[in-house]
Amino acid sequence: MTIVVTGATGNVGRPLVCELAAAGARVRAVTRAPESAGFPDVVEAMSSPVDALAGATAVFLNSRALGDGLADVVALARRRGVTKLVALSAINADDDFSRQPSRFRGDRNKEVEQLAVDSGLDWVSLRPAVFASNFVGMWSAQIRAGDVVGGPYAAASAAPIVETDIAAVAAQALLTDEFVGQHIPLTGPQAFTNSELVEIIGTVLGRPLRYLEVPPDVVRQRFIGLGLGAEFADAYTAMLAETVDKPALVTREVEKITGRPATTFAQWVSDHRNLFTK
């Protein structure tokens, strides 16, 4: 079995490559800089998804990594005899695009899922909730500067999932046929409001952190200052507005598929506390 992983040095791709290699699969890891990827010796790092497809059995599709070449890679995979596609989509893939902030970072969740479904190959679509690591980019600078995290909608709800859990599920989807034809919603084990998420970070760091709700236009300017852009900011606040007083969906798919509980947000913060304290 030869498995191609696109976006192989990303937050999901890197642990997925390691999971597959540990399971004994032949892995081709597609990355822009294969010479410095730092994968185990048994992994073949490649810069071209086109070259990686020759003789491959299955492909993990990361739409951000593939960019404008996404549809071409899916079509070529079919012509070259690939039998399975596992698409990295998102739990909100069916929402209006104006409420999908990751689109403005290059994700094409709806498209990658539809291409996989329409390919004529076996397919699995993974639909994870917000990544735990997203809160580093949004909040870490404020946490390093003080004890107050400002943002929109203190009561907005999320069930953050740890990327290694997504990778563990992806590995099972690639290595077995048990999940073919399924859209799999993946979340962390519990839903929290923004205020509660900040309190969890504070508890782990031993600091009295609190969340301060601020107007969306202030948040917009902050995101622009972080380089995320106005469109991302508008989509992010619109997405959060939909979850106020509405607990985020929590699924047990990680535990059912991997045989172990999904990693808690508190555990992830503890494992990555340096990201909030540098």
Residue 79 has pLDDT above 80, yes or no: yes
**Secondary structure of 72-110 in HEC code, one letter for each residue:** HHHHHHHHCCCCEEEEECCCCCCCCHHHCHHHHHCCCHH
How long a stretch of residues is the chain? 278
Quick one: pLDDT at residue 156? Answer: 97
Quick one: pLDDT at residue 234? Answer: 94
Quick one: pLDDT at residue 219? Answer: 86
Please tell me the CATH superfamily of domain 2-131+162-187+249-263, with its number: NAD(P)-binding Rossmann-like Domain (3.40.50.720)
Residue by residue, DSSP assigns 216-259 as HHHHHHHHHHTTS-HHHHHHHHHHHHTTTTSPPP---HHHHHHS
- Tell me the pTM: 0.96
Q: Percentage of the chain surpassing pLDDT 70? A: 100
Quick one: pLDDT at residue 195? Answer: 98
Quick one: pLDDT at residue 80? Answer: 96
Quick one: pLDDT at residue 215? Answer: 92
Quick one: pLDDT at residue 124? Answer: 98
Q: Is 169 helix (H, G, I), strand (E, B) or coil?
A: helix
Predicted confidence (pLDDT) per residue in 226-273, tens digit:
888 999 999 999 999 999 988 999 999 999 999 999 999 999 999 999
Residue type, 215: P
Quick one: pLDDT at residue 226? Answer: 81
Quick one: pLDDT at residue 227? Answer: 87
Residue 149 has pLDDT above 80, yes or no: yes
Residue 186's alpha-carbon distances to 18, 49, 149, 205, in angstroms, are 20, 26, 27, 27
Query: Average pLDDT, stretch 93-101?
Result: 95
CB-CB contact of 121 with 84 (8 Å): yes
Quick one: pLDDT at residue 145? Answer: 96
Q: Cα–Cα distance between 246 and 218 in angstroms, integer?
A: 24
Other C-beta atoms lying within 10 Å of the C-beta of residue 212: 12
* Reduced DSSP (H G I as helix, E B as strand, rest coil) percent helix, strand, coil of the chain, to 5: 45, 15, 35
Residue 212's alpha-carbon distances to 48, 156, 237, in angstroms, are 45, 13, 15
Which pLDDT band, with edges at 50, 70 and 90, does 74 fall under?
A: very high
Half-sphere exposure of 126 (CA within 13 A, CB side): 29
Structural domain spans, the chain: 2-131+162-187+249-263
Predicted confidence (pLDDT) per residue in 150-177, tens digit:
999 999 999 999 999 999 999 999 999 9
CB-CB contact of 124 with 180 (8 Å): yes
Residue 278 has pLDDT above 80, yes or no: no
The neighbouring-strand residues paired with 252 are none
CB-CB contact of 122 with 84 (8 Å): yes
